[in-house]
Amino acid sequence: MELSAVIVSYNVCELLRGALQSLMAAAKATEHEIIVVDNNSSDGSPGMVSQEFPSVKLIVSDSNEGFASACNRGIQASSGEYVLILNPDTVTSPDAITRALDFMKTHPDAGAAGAHMTDGNGKFLPESKRGFPSPLTALFRFTGLCRLFPSSALFNAYYLGDKPENETCRADILTGAFMLIRRKALDKAGLFDTSFFMYGEDIDLSWRIRKAGFSNYYLHDVRITHFKGGSSGQDRQTSVWHFWDAMAIFGEKHLRKGWHMPVRAAVCLLKWMSITRLRVVRLVKK
């Protein structure tokens, strides 16, 4: 088997249908399998997959076990030389799979590859390529300095601002919305860390692939549309809470000793600032 595509789904029936349709069309020339892991959806998603996509391997959880854990279940049930982690709120371009696989085959140092992502309005999503989220890099990102100097290698290192979106390049961090992983790299780096419930697990795995001796690449000519937030199944406040908790876990795992307490304190402060801002915005809108 050349390719195994793993999609984790939670209450996004219509989006999942579109994701499967576009993925099947893009992968038709490739020996592949598609695995959907449903995190206990209540919107009829499992039934839709069974009825409309009988060739898809469906795994139904009896609870929402989180993205990382569900991905691991799909990976463990797969057999492909390459594993594609794909969000259900995506539309894959017709040539995306062929282009991505061709790149991996001709670049043996590549442990994983990501795509050029645009939102539903065709706007480029900068998280398509990211640098290592060091404390300084994160500070520039969350204080807004990266937006003031979008092309700066220093101030916008979080989004690799000095790397044009129309050029393929190495990237420390890829997004789990579209992450094509070489099986050998995954075997060496390990599966997703289930300490992350939502957010951060792709950052963590990307960095472990790097530490395992492989490179990650952003592929400018592999295109997908990502309808951001469609697959979270959460309100905004809960999503923000999970995001900052994920940043704390990542910092404790990968930053040097001595950084842990300052980073945790900073993350805690930023989390509550973010929550407070959301609440203020809601009050203003009422």
Residue located via tokens 């140092």: 109
For residue 215, give Cα distances in angstroms to 137, 200, 206: 20, 19, 9
Strands (DSSP E) contained in 25-177 are 32-38, 57-60, 82-86, 90-92, 110-118, 169-170
48 near 7, Cβ under 8 Å? no
pTM for the complete prediction? 0.84
User: For residue 243, what pLDDT is reported?
Assistant: 60
Tens of pLDDT along the chain (286 residues) come to: 999 999 999 999 999 999 999 999 999 999 999 999 999 999 999 999 999 999 999 999 999 988 999 999 999 999 999 999 999 999 999 999 999 999 999 999 999 999 999 999 999 999 999 998 777 777 777 777 888 888 999 889 889 999 999 999 999 999 999 999 999 999 999 999 988 666 778 989 999 999 999 999 999 999 999 997 654 444 555 555 556 566 666 666 656 565 555 656 555 655 555 556 555 555 555 5
Contacts 24+ apart (CB under 8 A), 149-153: none
206-256, pLDDT tens digit by residue? 999 999 999 999 999 999 999 976 544 445 555 555 565 666 666 666 565
Q: Are 200 and 246 in contact (CB under 8 A)?
A: yes
Q: What class has domain 3-129+165-231? A: alpha beta
